[in-house]
Each structure stands twice: as structure tokens, then as C-alpha cells.
């Protein structure tokens, strides 16, 4: 942004999204762009999101432009949304593939330059670099949220045991099925609501960006109903190679978001979490 661009940074309505017009001189000057401002209540959440958006943008991925960020506020360019189309969904898949291929230093690595707290939505989660993806996924993603769901009474003892058993078999499954990959640069919270379709194409917003497995983003899009999902997958596969049977790994990668939702949204998500755990367990030796 130019030197004369100003944004009012008053920390009000924390946690909310606000639409605003950014004008030169901060008031009645020429309109520069429409922005969306968020005031997350969690310490460091705005800076973490901005770091993630900028890191993903380095790959050429279509992500929301960071206009301004402070300790308690992030402003991004507003996306003028249009209905999704098969063509736009295919482009989204292609963009995801290119973003993933750009890579990351390690599984669990946060965006470079950000050493503060990290979140998925409003929930804190770790980002500690780890060479082994299965260990990272179990210790930093699934187990913390499944444990909280169990302690909150949203997941019963049998379900908690199923999740732990599923995570015990993940290293073997990944090895036997050839699903291990180098660390990818992933969005990390790629549910359908964080994939917008604008006039110029798809735009990703609200990341929990880190080094991870590429199927993690694809699995979350499947779990929460992204439009024209088949086209997203086709676009992805046209740009980047995955294991031929990668779709069979979707339940494994859905354990994390389902554990998060079982903790934050209640026991209604527990059956889906248990389903994903059981399907992960059955992957042992399967073809």
C-alpha cells in the first residue's frame, strides 16, 4: 500500500469480521480498495494469519491480500464473490498443487519469521518442526483435540480408544501404502468456507499454514463439501503427482478437523470422528 493509505485500527468487536472501504488519507480521498477487517481475541492470531497468508502468497497461490496487520487486527482485501463454476474449481485445485509443491522446511514448520502462538480457527495448536509426519500429526494435531473432546465429555471412552488406536497404525499405513511425502506448504484449514470464488478466480482465506501433508488440504475440502470437488481434484492431479490410491487416505487426514469439531462443536461430531478412526485402522494391509 502507498504511504498515504491509512486504515482505522481501533480494536472493537473482537473476533468479528468487518467490511470497510480503504481510502487515501484515511477519510474522503480516492477509494483504494474494499477490505475485510478481523479482530481476533486470541493473542497473536492476527499476526499468525498474516504470516501464513504471505507465506502461501510467495508461491503465487491465490490468497487474500494482507492490507494491514496489528497485534489485534488483520485487514485483507475483500473478495467480490461470484457463484463457483467447474472451471474455477479446477483452477483452485491447480493452485493448491502448485502451492504444495513449493514445499516447507519440515512437517509442522510455521511460516518463516513467525515464532508466536498458532491457531486453527480460535483454537491454539502447536507448530513444532518434525521430520516424521505421522508423529507430528498424532502429537500436534489429532491427540490434543481428541483428548480435550474426551475430557469435555464430547467423546466417550470407546471413541477415545479408537482414535488412539488409529494413530498407532498411521506410521505403518503411511509406510506400507507409500503415502509418505516431503513437507508440503499447506493451507491447514481448507474447509469450503475458506475457499472463496471471486470475479478473478478462487481465493483462499483464513489459513493455519504450516508444513504438512498435501492430502490434508484435499481431505478437509472433501469433509466440508467444497463445490465441484471432482474438478478440484482433477485440477490438482493435472499439476502434481500423488499416490494412485491417495483417496483411500482421506479418512486418516480427516481425523484432525473432526477432532477439532468434536471438541469445539460438541458430541454431534463424535460419530464421524469414530468412523474416520475405524476406517484408518482398516487401512492396515489393505489395497
Inside any domain, residue 1: no
Decide if 126 contacts 118 (C-beta within 8 A). Answer: yes
Whole-number pLDDT of residue 9 = 33
Inside any domain, residue 128: yes
Inside any domain, residue 115: yes
Inside any domain, residue 127: yes
What is the Cα–Cα distance from 145 to 138, expressed in whole angstroms? Answer: 10
**Burial letters for 160-197: b for 16+ Cβ neighbours within 10 Å, e otherwise?**
bebbbebbebbbebbeebebebebbbbbbbbbbebbbb
What share of residues in the chain are helix, strand, coil (percent, to 5)?
Answer: 45, 15, 40
Inside any domain, residue 161: yes
Whole-number pLDDT of residue 11 = 31
Inside any domain, residue 242: yes
Q: Indicate the helix (H) or strand (E) that contains 149.
A: helix 143-151
Burial class (CB within 10 angstroms; exposed 0-12, middle 13-18, buried 19+) of 102: middle
Total domains in the fold of the chain? 1
Inside any domain, residue 10: no
User: Nearest-CA neighbor of 172 among 221, 207, 125, 134?
Assistant: 134
Whole-number pLDDT of residue 23 = 42
What is the Cα–Cα distance from 112 to 14, expressed in whole angstroms? Answer: 26
pTM: 0.88
User: What is the total residue count of the chain?
Assistant: 287
Whole-number pLDDT of residue 2 = 32
**How many angstroms separate the most distant Cα atoms in the chain?**
66
Decide if 58 contacts 102 (C-beta within 8 A). Answer: yes
Inside any domain, residue 103: yes
- pLDDT lower than 70: segments of the chain: 1-33, 285-287
∠ CA 38-43-45 to the nearest 5 degrees?
A: 45
User: Nearest-CA neighbor of 222 among 181, 188, 192, 194?
Assistant: 192
Domain CATH for 264: 3.90.1200.10
Range of the structural domain that residue 86 is part of: 80-281
Amino acid at each position: 500500500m502507498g504511504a498515504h493509505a491509512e486504515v482505522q485500527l481501533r480494536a472493537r468487536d473482537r473476533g468479528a469480521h468487518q467490511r470497510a472501504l480503504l481510502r487515501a488519507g484515511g477519510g474522503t480521498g480516492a477509494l483504494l480498495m474494499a477490505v475485510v477487517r478481523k479482530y481476533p481475541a486470541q493473542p497473536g492470531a492476527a499476526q499468525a494469519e498474516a504470516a501464513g497468508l504471505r507465506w502461501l502468497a510467495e508461491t503465487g497461490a491465490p490468497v487474500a491480500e494482507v492490507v494491514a496487520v496489528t497485534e489485534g487486527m488483520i485487514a485483507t482485501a475483500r473478495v467480490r464473490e461470484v457463484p463457483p463454476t467447474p472451471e474455477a474449481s479446477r483452477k483452485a485445485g491447480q493452485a493448491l498443487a502448485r502451492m504444495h509443491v513449493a514445499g516447507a522446511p519440515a512437517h509442522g514448520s510455521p511460516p518463516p519469521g513467525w515464532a508466536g502462538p498458532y491457531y486453527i480457527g480460535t483454537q491454539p495448536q502447536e507448530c513444532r518442526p518434525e521430520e516424521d509426519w505421522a508423529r507430528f500429526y498424532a502429537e500436534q494435531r489429532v491427540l490434543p483435540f481428541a483428548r480435550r473432546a474426551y475430557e469435555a465429555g464430547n467423546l466417550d471412552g470407546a471413541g477415545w480408544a479408537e482414535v488412539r488406536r488409529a494413530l498407532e497404525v498411521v506410521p505403518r499405513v503411511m509406510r506400507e501404502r507409500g503415502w509418505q511425502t516431503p513437507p508440503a506448504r499447506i493451507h491447514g484449514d481448507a474447509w469450503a468456507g475458506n475457499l472463496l470464488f471471486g470475479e478473478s478466480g478462487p481465493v483462499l482465506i483464513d489459513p493455519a499454514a504450516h508444513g504438512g501433508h498435501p492430502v490434508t488440504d484435499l481431505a478437509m475440502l472433501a469433509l466440508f463439501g467444497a463445490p465441484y470437488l471432482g474438478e478440484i481434484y482433477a485440477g490438482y492431479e493435472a499439476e502434481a503427482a500423488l499416490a494412485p490410491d491417495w483417496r483411500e487416505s482421506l479418512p486418516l487426514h480427516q481425523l484432525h478437523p473432526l477432532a477439532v469439531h468434536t471438541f469445539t462443536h460438541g458430541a454431534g461430531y463424535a460419530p464421524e470422528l469414530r468412523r474416520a478412526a475405524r476406517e484408518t485402522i482398516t487401512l492396515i494391509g489393505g489395497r
